[in-house]
Amino acid sequence: MTADTRPTAAVVFDLDGTLVDTMESVPRAYAATIHALGGPVVSPAEIVAAWHLGPTAVVLAHFLGRPVTPTDVDCYHRYADAAYATVRPFPGVVPMLDALFGDGMRLALYTSATRRSTTGMLAAADLARFFRVVVCGDEVVQPKPAAEGLLRACQWLSLRPIDTAYVGDAETDLACADAAGALGIHAAWGASCGPTGRHLTASSPADIPRLVVQGG
């Protein structure tokens, strides 16, 4: 099957591993939390493989093997707040967002991260100014790869999913785009998954304006 090649009116982005480089600092915060809460020793790679399961509480419960309490989540945030201070955009992300914004493209964010985590990362990376619409993992009932969060972002943008692209680094992001009927674009610079064949691939952020404005 060939990749879809239609122009779009808006771009919705994933956050972790797509716009910001969290592949070291945030997994370390998770691993430290899990250990502090009596869970197993886990590697950063294991965390990255699991954090698309849903928001913080879901990821923690996955490794702890038990329901997670608000106190457990607060423990995570004590470690994570320090990690957010080190979060930076991937090279080329800010010029890409500037180009899309300058072209009149509507921008939004749908992330599996919680609202608190998202706010911290966007502030540290100085990206909040680009996004008037932000949907977070703790605000949806069905996490990725279900379409709920992406559909909500499209609703707030007053656009149909078919007129929207969703850019993400993971298989769950692309499956979410498919479930919603949006154009899925693989953010290959995040390297959470390999080429899918069914989706457009952006090897760098600079590819995104061309893919969404010209339809590939």
pLDDT digits (tens, 9 = 90+) for 24-51: 888 899 999 999 999 999 998 899 888 7
CB 187 within 8 A of CB 167: yes
pLDDT at 105: 94
pLDDT at 197: 66
pLDDT at 1: 37
CB-based contacts of 62, cutoff 8 Å, min separation 6: 50, 53
Q: How far is CA 89 from each of CA 86, 117, 141, 187, rounded to the nearest angstrom? A: 10, 15, 28, 13
Q: Which two tokens stand for residue 213?
A: 């404005």
pLDDT at 114: 86
Arithmetic mean of pLDDT, 53-61? 87
pLDDT at 2: 46
Which residues on adjacent β-strands are paired with residue 167? 13, 185
Q: Give 172-190 pLDDT, tens digit per residue.
A: 999 999 999 999 999 999 7
Arithmetic mean of pLDDT, 145-169? 96
pLDDT at 23: 80
Which residues on adjacent β-strands are paired with residue 201? 186
Phi-psi region of 31 (alpha: psi -120 to 50; beta: other; left: phi over 0): alpha
Q: Which two tokens stand for residue 113?
A: 């991260």
CB 206 within 8 A of CB 93: no
The DSSP H or E segment spanning 200 is strand 200-202
CATH 3.40.50.1000 assigned to 10-21+87-213: yes
pLDDT at 186: 95
- The whole-chain average pLDDT of the chain stands at 90
pTM (global) more than 0.85: yes
Q: Which has more confidence, 87 or 3?
A: 87
- Phi and psi, residue 10, nearest 5°: -150, 155
Encoded amino acid at 15, one letter: L
For 39, half-sphere exposure in the C-beta direction (CA atoms, 13 angstrom radius) is 24
CB 14 within 8 A of CB 168: yes
CB 31 within 8 A of CB 8: no
Q: 215 pLDDT band (50/70/90 cuts)?
A: low
